Amino acid sequence: MRKFIVTIEGKSYEVGVEEVGVSQNTAPAPAPVQAVQAAAPAASVPANGEKLLSPFPGLIKNFLVEEGTAVKKDQPVLVLEAMKMDNDITSPCDGKISFKTEVGKNVETNAVLAVIG
């Protein structure tokens, strides 16, 4: 069974799709789909500090700095992959970075990626 995340009208669902064999003389059988409510949103972000938000949906590919590192405004801090393209996401201000996501996670537009404080 393969698992996918499907977003319908802004609400995400995790679905499992079972692969079935197809003979040459028959049409493919519909795959059973089971909708599951998406996981709860990430823990609340501290009020102090400026939030670094995802500009578009994508996959967190790599962190370019370590947790707690002092960063400068416009310094690249992580790589967000979208449509097979790597995009450097930069710090909105000077401060110490606290990541609110993890490498390998898919994020939506405006997801909090980090807090700079």
Closest alpha carbon to 80 in 99, 100, 107: 107
Residue 102 pLDDT greater than 70, yes or no: yes
Q: Is the pTM of this model over 0.85?
A: no
d(CA 66, CA 74): 16
Report whether 89 contacts 52 (CB < 8 A).
yes
pLDDT at 7: 80
Which tens digits make up the pLDDT trace of 75-101?
A: 999 999 999 999 999 999 999 999 999
pLDDT of residue 70: 96
Task: Give dist(CA 24, CA 4) in Å, integer.
Answer: 27
The whole-angstrom separation of Cα 86 and Cα 99 is 19
- How far apart CA 36 and CA 41 sit, in angstroms, is 15
Say yes or no to pLDDT of 47 above 60.
no
Q: What is the DSSP letter of 25?
A: T
> What is the token pair recorded at 56?
């578009």
Q: Could you give the strand order of the β-sheet that contains 95-99, starting from the edge strand earlier in sequence?
A: 50-53, 112-116, 95-99, 70-71
Please say if the pLDDT value at position 36 is more than 90. no
Tell me: pLDDT of 41 over 70.
no
Nearest-angstrom CA–CA distance, 39 and 24: 40
* Band (30; pLDDT cuts 50, 70, 90): low
